[in-house]
Chain A
Amino acid sequence: DQQVKQNSPSLSVQEGRISILNCDYTNSMFDYFLWYKKYPAEGPTFLISISSIKDKNEDGRFTVFLNKSAKHLSLHIVPSQPGDSAVYFCAASQGGSEKLVFGKGMKLTVNP
């Protein structure tokens, strides 16, 4: 029973354009959400997070949007760069527990 779902396994975009990565969750108790980026043979690297009391958080080229009523979050990367090519994981946690629940990941390819 996947509590965090990334339904698209891959996305390909042109350099300079926007990349939009989507994530849905089923557990309404989740109150903290994170995005991680992973290169081959490396561990996941933290990108950006958002608390459930907010609906948007921005850090440079990365913006995360949270729609609690739809149980949906998205990561926007603008402008996309070839170095952004990696697997991106959405993760969530709920109050009282520090463990993260991850989605299956989505492979982003940014073409020069």
Chain B
Amino acid sequence: GAGVSQSPRYKVAKRGQDVALRCDPISGHVSLFWYQQALGQGPEFLTYFQNEAQLDKSGLPSDRFFAERPEGSVSTLKIQRTQQEDSAVYLCASSRVRGEQYFGPGTRLTVT
């Protein structure tokens, strides 16, 4: 498909486990964003890449969260030693220029 894809769509992790969430942006989109959406809230910014460079990681809540985009295309958000408060939907978005961002369907993470 031509849209942003994310995998897995659903992930259940036991507290303390590490998880890795994948994002495939729209081909040719330079910018890639990760957001966290808690239940009943709007998406909250986590981090942003332009090509392979991570330009802003000010929204990452702790050093347990790590994101990479080594070849400027696919990105992975990794959460180490998951906690219950990490339970949320993780959204990835990409854009070609500043302006509208195109979102994937999200990964719903549940930490038990």
Which residues of A are interface residues toward B (Cβ below 8 A)? 4, 32, 34, 36, 41-46, 49, 89, 91, 93, 97-105
Contacts and interface: CB of A to CB of B under 8 A. Distances in A.
Nearest to B45: A99
A101 B48 CA distance: 13
A97 B33 CA distance: 12
Contacts of A4: 42
B105 A43 contact: yes
B106 interface: yes
Contacts, number: 54
Given A98-B31, A99-B56, A46 B101 contact: yes
Contacts of B101: 46, 100
* Most central of A34, A43, A105 by chain B CB within 10 Å: A43
Nearest to A95: B98
Given A43-B91, A46-B100, A98-B31, A104 B42 contact: yes
Nearest to A89: B42
Q: Which 10 pairs across A and B sit closest by C-beta, in order of nearness? A: A102-B42, A43-B103, A46-B100, A99-B45, A44-B103, A102-B43, A43-B105, A104-B42, A43-B104, A103-B42
B66 interface: no
Given A91-B42, A101-B45, A104-B40, 6 more contacts: A42-B105, A43-B93, A93-B98, A98-B33, A99-B48, A103-B42
Interface in B75-112: 91, 93, 95, 98-106
Contacts of B13: none
Nearest to A36: B103
Contacts of B105: 41-43
Given A42-B105, A104-B41, A99 B33 contact: yes
Which of A4, A45, A100 is the most central at the interface, judged by chain B CB atoms within 10 Å of its CB? A100
Contact of B99 (A41, A49, A97, A99): A49
Interface in B20-35: 31, 33, 35
